Amino acid sequence: MEYLNFKFDKTLTKDVSIHIGKSIVTDINTYLAKINPDKVFIVCDSMIINNYGKQIKKNIQQCYKCQLIELKVSENNKNFKNLEFIIDNFFKYKGTQKSCFCSLGGGIVCNMTGLAASLVYRGISLVHIPTTLLSQVDVAPDVKQSVNSFQIKNSIGQWKAPDLVLIDPLFLNTLSDREMRTGLAEALKHGFSQDLSLVKYITTAIKKKVLRNEDVLETIIYKTISLKIQHWNNTPNMWNELEKTEKLTHIGHTVGKILEMVQIDYLSHGEAISHGMLIEFYISYLLGYVDMDFIKYAKEILTTTGLLYPLNKNYTSKKIINLMYQNYPLFAILKSPGSSNIESTSLTKKIVKKAVDWYLKEEKIRK
């Protein structure tokens, strides 16, 4: 018997440039110059192709070859078949190793385009142009790319950092209120766990009815992404020991992701993680960390924001717990609000069930 080995030290280090600003996308070719692609493949949400996709293609064509790939977007369509469709079109329209993928749409398009970009020739350049608030604050400035399989959200995926992220708040002019709120949930998550002044900024904007003001949105986007990056910078081992250290981004998500799975396309992502946050904050309370006043405060904020979309009869404790414990759930336990003091841990079914039961009872009262 012989033994051989070799070390694979191909680094994932990459500088990701994130530009945020009104009308920034009109200058897209200036930004693309750094990548200098031989062809740009825009993967565009079919719902926004007329509003934005065709115009952006025209702009790019002033300097680069460009092909639009249109995608019908839904969680059910976020699958392998449509990933293959994107990749097939890339080769059909003569993409090369020097070509680049560019997502134009919400989180679904970003995730699918990112995964395609990681697979084609084992990785080509990737630009994200996110058009929903959620994708602007969370999905695009990130490295997780994925599709769903067997109703399990994001179960097939890959790490792939974008080369460039262009965030233009003007896209949000056409976004529905419900989709706006879903992005706010992500911003509030960072606020509750890292900086309560962001929570205050958002709620004040809602109360003053200036939330849709582009400068206000730009501030929310900038602050949220800054907090996300701050968390990454303070967690140096994050990418090597993800399951142990990805504490903050998990908040509300361990439960929230299950709530999304109970009935696909019923809750938006933001609504699911908002319910998820309250259940997880209650777990923190049961463990002796946060107090009931904080839970009431968080509930009030999420209610004001309109994020607590009512759960229907499909959301039973049994279903939620069974789905959750099909895997090995890790929970982000918030120890003190607004201070990045979070622990990532496994929990017994008993304590999680207690929190879910409490919440479902609260929901009944709310209705």
* Cα(275)–Cα(281) distance, integer angstroms: 10
179 binds ligand NAD (CB under 6 A): yes
Q: Which residue from 162, 154, 161 is spatially nearest to 129, judged by alpha carbons?
A: 162
Question: Of 116, 127, 129, 138, which one interacts with ligand NAD (CB under 6 A)?
Answer: 138
276 binds ligand NAD (CB under 6 A): no
Q: How far is the CB of 172 from ligand NAD (least distance, A)?
A: 6
Question: Crossing angle of helices 214-233/196-207, nearest 10°?
Answer: 170
Q: How far is the CB of 78 from ligand NAD (least distance, A)?
A: 6
103 binds ligand NAD (CB under 6 A): no
Segment interacting with ligand NAD (CB under 6 A) among 105-113, 116-124, 235-243, 276-284:
105-113
Segment interacting with ligand NAD (CB under 6 A) among 31-39, 133-141, 291-299, 304-312:
133-141
Q: How far is the CB of 255 from ligand NAD (least distance, A)?
A: 15
* Cα(138)–Cα(300) distance, integer angstroms: 23
Q: Give me 97's structure tokens.
A: 């190793």
Name the residue with tokens 């790319």: 145
Segment interacting with ligand NAD (CB under 6 A) among 40-48, 195-203, 208-216, 331-339:
40-48
144 binds ligand NAD (CB under 6 A): yes
Q: Give me 114's structure tokens.
A: 């990112």
224 binds ligand NAD (CB under 6 A): no
171 binds ligand NAD (CB under 6 A): yes
**Strand pairing category for 341-345 and 331-336:** antiparallel
154 binds ligand NAD (CB under 6 A): yes
245 binds ligand NAD (CB under 6 A): no
Beta-carbon contacts of 99 under 8 Å, excluding residues fewer than 6 positions away, are 37, 38, 39, 40, 41, 90, 124, 125
48 binds ligand NAD (CB under 6 A): yes
238 binds ligand NAD (CB under 6 A): no
Name the residue with tokens 């033994």: 3
How distant is the alpha carbon of residue 178 from its chain centre? 16
139 binds ligand NAD (CB under 6 A): yes
Scan residues 255-274 and list those touching ligand NAD (CB under 6 A): 269
Question: Of 111, 235, 305, 340, which one interacts with ligand NAD (CB under 6 A)?
Answer: 111
How many Cβ atoms sit within 10 Å of the Cβ of residue 200?
A: 12
* Cα(143)–Cα(139) distance, integer angstroms: 8
82 binds ligand NAD (CB under 6 A): no
Name the residue with tokens 């990805």: 246
142 binds ligand NAD (CB under 6 A): yes
Segment interacting with ligand NAD (CB under 6 A) among 23-31, 171-179, 188-196, 326-334:
171-179
106 binds ligand NAD (CB under 6 A): yes
Q: Give me 79's structure tokens.
A: 């699958």
252 binds ligand NAD (CB under 6 A): no
Q: Give me 223's structure tokens.
A: 């602050």
* Cα(18)–Cα(31) distance, integer angstroms: 11
Beta-carbon contacts of 76 under 8 Å, excluding residues fewer than 6 positions away, are 148, 264, 265
* Cα(307)–Cα(184) distance, integer angstroms: 9
182 binds ligand NAD (CB under 6 A): yes
Interface residues toward ligand NAD, by CB under 6 A: 45, 47-48, 73, 75, 78, 105-109, 111, 131-132, 134-135, 138-139, 142, 144, 153-154, 171, 174-175, 179, 182, 269
